[in-house]
A and B are shown apart, each in its own frame.
Chain A
Amino acid sequence: MTVTDILLLALGAVAAGSALRVVTTTHIVRAGLWLVVALGAMAACYLVLTAELVAWVQVLIYVGAVVVLLLFATMLTRAPIGPSPELDRARFPAALIGLGSGGGLAALFIFGYRWGKAELAAPGTAGVLGKEIFSGWVLPFEVLSILLLAALVGAIVVSRGERS
């Protein structure tokens, strides 16, 4: 057990705990705030795994943009401030499927990797990743920018509604 392992275990416990609160809390706004904790813990995991750029992009885009959008949506749909009953369907089948898929994947990873060791690579800084993207993944990058534009236009068209 190295320091990296202990840090990852602690951050993973924080992420899993707050993720559980996201899917079980009865306050809609609190679910969004717990999501910030979960995503922040994941960003810290990326930092420990030396994925520096991914961690900061995660903080900027997820915590900065996606969660703010989600909180805006809860406000625009007039979410109640207090606890709201009837937020959940029957828990048992969902818990079964969630446990099954999560446990199955975990078993697969444990079977595949055992207690094997790996040395941390050199940090994935913006320079390294920029070189990687613009040498090997230029076309996907450009396609992604077109997709982002299409999603933007689509969101505007959908939220404008139909005009007669």
Chain B
Amino acid sequence: MHPVIPYVIAAVLFGIGVYGVLVRRNAVLVLMAVELMLNAVNLVLVTADVTLRQYTGQTFALFVIVLAAAEIGVGLALVLQLYRLRRSIVTDDVAVDYDVAVDNPVDNSVDNAADREAAR
């Protein structure tokens, strides 16, 4: 086999992932594009194993998959919290120095989003 083929596939997928991260407004879609980039890196690691004839790359690919699972868990928790505060997950609307508590007070006594809507 020619190792350049999977390497180029990985490069193409990484480019597509970068494009997706930059172009998408929806936070969940941004996370999907990040997954594409992580997978491209895994493909490079696995292909490197074939050319170097050892198993370190596959071990690292497993580690990266575990890291991706942890990342997606925390990332989605943050996205859902953003949705609870703003009713939207458009990343353009998130100002870094924006004080949520002042402009958009959230009633902490009712923690379920549906209950909060009913309470209004």
Contacts and interface: CB of A to CB of B under 8 A. Distances in A.
A82 interface: no
Contacts of A20: 16
Contacts of B69: 61, 65-66, 148
Interface string B61-93: 111011111111110111111011000010010
A158 B1 contact: no
Contact of A49 (B13, B47, B80, B92): B47
Interface residues of B, number: 72
A81 interface: no
Contacts of B51: 113, 118
B35 A66 contact: yes
B94 interface: no
B46 A12 contact: no
Nearest to A25: B29
Contacts, number: 274
Interface string A34-65: 01001100100110011101100110011001
Nearest to A132: B55
Contacts of B1: 2, 4-5, 8, 117-120
Interface residues on A, range: 35 or more
Interface of B: 1-20, 22-26, 28-29, 31-33, 35-36, 39, 42-43, 46-47, 49-51, 53-56, 58-59, 61-63, 65-74, 76-81, 83-84, 89, 92, 108-109, 111
Given A136-B56, A161-B84, 20 more contacts: A23-B16, A23-B20, A35-B36, A45-B43, A62-B65, A66-B35, A70-B32, A77-B28, A97-B19, A98-B18, A118-B51, A141-B63, A151-B70, A151-B73, A152-B73, A155-B74, A158-B74, A161-B108, A163-B111, A164-B108
Interface of A: 2, 4-5, 8-9, 12, 15-16, 19-20, 22-23, 28, 31-32, 35, 38-39, 42, 45-46, 49-51, 53-54, 57-58, 61-62, 65-66, 69-70, 72-74, 76-77, 79, 84, 86-91, 93-95, 97-103, 105-106, 108-110, 113-121, 124, 128-129, 132-133, 136-137, 140-141, 144, 147-148, 151-152, 154-156, 158-164
